[in-house]
Structure 1
């Protein structure tokens, strides 16, 4: 964002005219890059003061040329002042264009961001989910506030977005917006997508994100254990909305489907699998990955319970699920009634499927990953890290094997430990 400028007038001997006069040039150096301009004036070599960068003497010719040099110098400084006052990026090319009156199309960050979001909105439901669109809208809002609060401007040239700008935005999100680390990184990544598009379009010379070091921290995933699942299964609710919310949550616990994927289910998603049993076959809206899940007894019971529900019949839905906002609000009420000391959200059901329902019961991680619709096995491995119980059970088997093996060894046998 900062710049350094110097101005020098000199004569160029290599371009001497036939009459021996030397042309005078103006050299403007900005951040080490030179701009050289002929001023269309000529002078005798003996009359030029190289150290002072002007003509010697007091003649009328000297007065006129030196006055012209002062006018050109002042014009350069006025151009610099105007660009600073108008938040223009100052480099050799932009300065030269402004000085000479050459119009350059300035691409503005907010204009580009708004155009991106407009196109994304038009593709909601086909290429993007409404939640993804809302995240980019929030990022745009934060970007506008950042420019206004920190730079007192409404927009900025994309060429002025550098690593210092990105780091300042990162700090603003953490400090002024009170975003935690992972939320900050996600907003910065959304912002980064806009900048990378500008780079790939050739609108900027380099990607300023190459030196950005932000990193998402792994967070502990909350899930229900077997006892808590059974509490939900066995609890009787007289209030219909809580009964329905419990059923929808358990459906996700035994299928691993996210809220939006449960919401989108229809009867056509039920197929007969290779084992002759009923399966759910769908695509995750978030990643568009195929997801095929065998229907477990609990899952089947819930499907049958609601197959005649008016909402299912009228709207061609497999289940009458409420809005995600209502589901999460009622789940907190559900947790209090069932005395589950965890802040329940619908997404916890997906974590529960990955841990308590599948991995803990010996389902291979590759199979779990496929059912969850993960594109990368490393995503599923995050769930495996929290299964201390499973590690304990596996080690108990190993411990038993070692005890059986070494009990056969003669107890009189002695080991020597040498390094």
Structure 2
């Protein structure tokens, strides 16, 4: 195995000369990789010895500078040796960062988490929603609890991370925190992302979690069957508030809109196309354009609550948590024993559309998905649809092979 080459060189930056004085720079070289840094020193250009890489002469100024440069070199060598004792390979950038006090040796996991959280905060309201920030903050909180529980420390150096860390973290979330598999997957993905970005930005030489994979094992998406949807639509509610919540949910089932898109729906988004009413807008979550033709049922619902329209909002001002709470009562009153949320309306629409033969590409377009794989997750093929497809195939094959006899 060839030995690594290591050297420290000092030079002056002539390009930044000012009144005959130039800044002194340093350069670390390891195996042909280089990294420059400022020595935070300056010297008259006339006193610099380019060949000796030091100040020339015996003046007080020259002697002091050379002592300072010798001290810098000794410190860099110390950091280099310390990194070599801990790492399989060391780069010039790692040594420079370690010397300057902000490199991988000083980067801790929770500190990296905090930096990513601060960066995400700036994006909330632009291309990220507040719930995404909350999810990352929860992952940071659980990571901190895990470090304190298993390592009896407040934080841990990024260099100390091993593949076992995230595996033990997942086990901790399951056994000690009692979280569901989908939540464990989310917490681990946030942690993995923080470490991946630290590696990409040169803070750590390797990504210890690169080979870690965990399945979310999500539950089957709940949805209403055609008969259950009819039950909800025809149930007579004496409470006007419950009737309103039912109508909002039915509107979602017939348009495939997410609640936030229903909340933000304005009269400007409803346009005439070839004599029919359409919703033409962009998904709040992905900013992907979508088009939904308004059939008779959603048109009736819009007309029913025309008196609530305020500032062009079709259904006035909606409160998500208030509607979610009342939706549980709506579903229970209809005699349906399923855990139905507002988002299940989208699942119901997608499943119903596929069962009626709508191509998955069209379903994906209406749902506003950026990837058809997402549509395949949301839009469940019912056993009825599978039975109809196989019956159709059976009829065609029987007709084609009717004259064929087995030998």
The Cα of 1:205 is off from its aligned counterpart by 0.9
| 1:281–1:293 CA contact under 8 A, matched in 2 | yes
1:120-152 deviation digits (Å, cap 9, x = unpaired): 223211111111111111111111111111111
- Is the CA contact 1:89–1:160 (under 8 Å) kept in the aligned structure 2? no
Could you tell me which of 349, 363, 373 is aligned with 1:368?
363
Q: Secondary structure of 1:340's match?
A: coil
Residue 302 of structure 1: aligned partner:
301
Name the counterpart of 2:245.
245
Alignment of 1:282-361 (within 5 A): 282-309=281-308, 312-313=309-310, 315-320=311-316, 322-356=318-352, 358-361=353-356
Q: Which range is displaced more, 252-261 or 381-390?
A: 381-390
Quote the residue 1:153 is aligned against.
153
Q: Does structure 2 retain, via aligned residues, the 8 Å contact 1:254–1:353?
A: yes
Partner of 1:130: 130
CA contact (8 A) 2:181 2:218 kept: no
Separation in 2 of the partners of 1:278 and 1:188? 45
CA distance in 2, matches of 1:162, 1:287: 35
Partner SS for 2:278: strand
* Number of residue pairs matched by the alignment: 318
Q: How far off is 1:342 after superposition?
A: 0.9
CA deviations on 1:368-393 (whole Å, 9 max, x unpaired) are: 00111111112212345532111111
- Tell me, yes or no, if structure 1 residue 211 matches structure 2 residue 207: no
Is the CA contact (8 Å cut-off) linking 2:223 and 2:345 kept in structure 1? yes
Q: Answer yes or no: is the 8 Å Cα contact 1:89–1:157 preserved in 2.
A: no
**Deviation readout 1:295-317 (Å, 9 max, x if unpaired):** 111111111222221xx31x442
Question: Shift of residue 199 of structure 1?
Answer: 1.4
- Residues 139-168 of structure 1: per-residue CA shift (max 9 Å, x gap): 111111111111111222222222121111
Whether the 8 Å CA contact 2:350–2:380 is kept in 1: the answer is no
2: CA distance between counterparts of 1:348 and 1:168?
A: 34
Residue 76 of structure 1 aligns with which residue? none
For the Cα contact (< 8 Å) 2:331–2:340, is it kept in 1?
yes
TM-score (norm 2): 0.72
Instruction: For 1:116 and 1:384, locate their aligned partners in 2 and report how far apart those are by CA, in whole Å.
Output: 34
1:42 corresponds to which residue? none
CA distance in 1, matches of 2:84, 2:306: 63
Aligned counterpart in structure 2 of residue 91 of structure 1, from 86, 90, 95: 86
Which of 367, 374, 393 is residue 398 of structure 1 equivalent to? 393
Deviates more, 1:263-272 or 1:253-262: 263-272
Cα distance in 1, alignment partners of residues 184 and 84 from structure 2: 27
Between structure 1 and structure 2, the one with the greater Rg is: 1
Structure 1 unmatched ranges of 5 or more: 1-78
TM-score (norm 1): 0.70
Q: CA RMSD in A?
A: 2.7
> 5+ residue gaps in structure 2?
1-77
Q: SS of the residue aligned with 2:306?
A: coil
Corresponding residue for 1:104?
101
Paired with 1:384 and 1:243, the residues of 2 have a C-alpha distance of 27
SS in structure 2 of the partner of residue 280 of structure 1: strand
